[in-house]
Amino acid sequence: AQSVTQPDIHITVSEGASLELRCNYSYGATPYLFWYVQSPGQGLQLLLKYFSGDTLVQGIKGFEAEFKRSQSSFNLRKPSVHWSDAAEYFCAAIKAAGNKLTFGGGTRVLVKP
Amino acid sequence: GAVVSQHPSWVICKSGTSVKIECRSLDFQATTMFWYRQFPKQSLMLMATSNEGSKATYEQGVEKDKFLINHASLTLSTLTVTSAHPEDSSFYICSAILAASDTQYFGPGTRLTVL
C-alpha cells in the first residue's frame, strides 16, 4: 500500500540552529512529493514540491528538500530556524496529477529561544 | 495566487442541528476539491473528493448521508454536517486543485464544535 512516513513526531531545536525533518515514502513508482506547514489552528501552506528534475528543491521561507530515490526519502531542511518556524510539518505524496494526497503523520517543531 | 478560503472559520452549534461550511477558490477555477478532517495533534484524514457537477466520492467509513458535499461551481464546494453530534466536533479543511494540476491548495480550516 502507498504510504508516507515521518519518523519524528516531535523535534525541538534552538533558534538559529539547523533543522532537518525526515520523510520516507512507499510507492510503486516515484510519486510527486510535497512539504506543507501548518501553524496552530490554521490550514496548510505549501513549502515546496518535487515532481522531477533537480533533486534539491528550494521552497519558501528558506526551506529546501532533497529527493533521494535510493533511500525513498524527501527530507526537509533549513539552515537556521526562526521562532516563527514553530509549527506542524507534513510530508505528502500523490501518485499522479489529480490523485488523492497521502499525508505523513506530521512532525511538530518546537523552537527554543 | 491560488488562494482558497473557508467560511466560517469557526462555528458552535447544538447537537442535532446542521452546519454548512463553504470552500471557495478565490483566484482560480477548481475542478476538484477535497474535504479533510483533522483531530487534535493528528494528521489530515481525507473525507471525500468533490468534482464540479458530479457526485462526491467518499472515503471508506465516511457517511455520505451525514456529510453532504455539493460542488455546484468551479469556485465553490460546500460541506454540510447534518444532525451534528459532539463526536463530529473537529477541524475541517478543504483543498482545491487547478485542472490537471498536481498541487493542492488548502483553505484555512473551519473549527466545528457541537455542544
DSSP readout, B33-64? EEEEEE-TTS-EEEEEEEETTS--EEPTT--T
pLDDT over threshold 90, residue A43: no
Q: How far apart are CA B48 and CA B37, in angstroms?
A: 10
Are residues A97 and B100, on separate chains, in Cβ contact within 8 Å? yes
Cell of B98: 487547478
Q: Any CB–CB contact under 8 A between A53 and chain B?
A: no
- Comparing CB atoms, the residue among A42, A51, A106 nearest residue B109 is A42
Q: What is the CA radius of gyration of chain B?
A: 13
The pLDDT of B85-104, averaged and rounded, is 87
Give residue A97's pLDDT. Answer: 65
* pLDDT tens sequence across B4-23: 999 999 999 999 999 999 99
Give residue B31's pLDDT. Answer: 83
Quick check: A29 and A97 in contact, CB under 8 A? Answer: no
Mean of the per-residue pLDDT values of chain B: 91
Give residue B7's pLDDT. Answer: 96
pLDDT over threshold 90, residue A27: no
* pLDDT tens sequence across B22-54: 999 998 888 889 999 998 888 889 999 998 888
Are residues A46 and B105, on separate chains, in Cβ contact within 8 Å? yes
Q: Is the sign of the CA dihedral B42, A105, B59, B79 positive or negative?
A: positive
Please state, for a pLDDT cut of 70, what percent of chain A lies above it: 98
Mean of the per-residue pLDDT values of chain A: 93
Chain B residues closer than 8 Å to A49 by CB: 102-103
Give residue B35's pLDDT. Answer: 96
A84 — pLDDT class (breaks 50, 70, 90)? very high
Q: Is the peptide bond before B86 cis (omega within 30 degrees of 0)?
A: no
- B95 min Cα distance to partner chain A (Å): 9
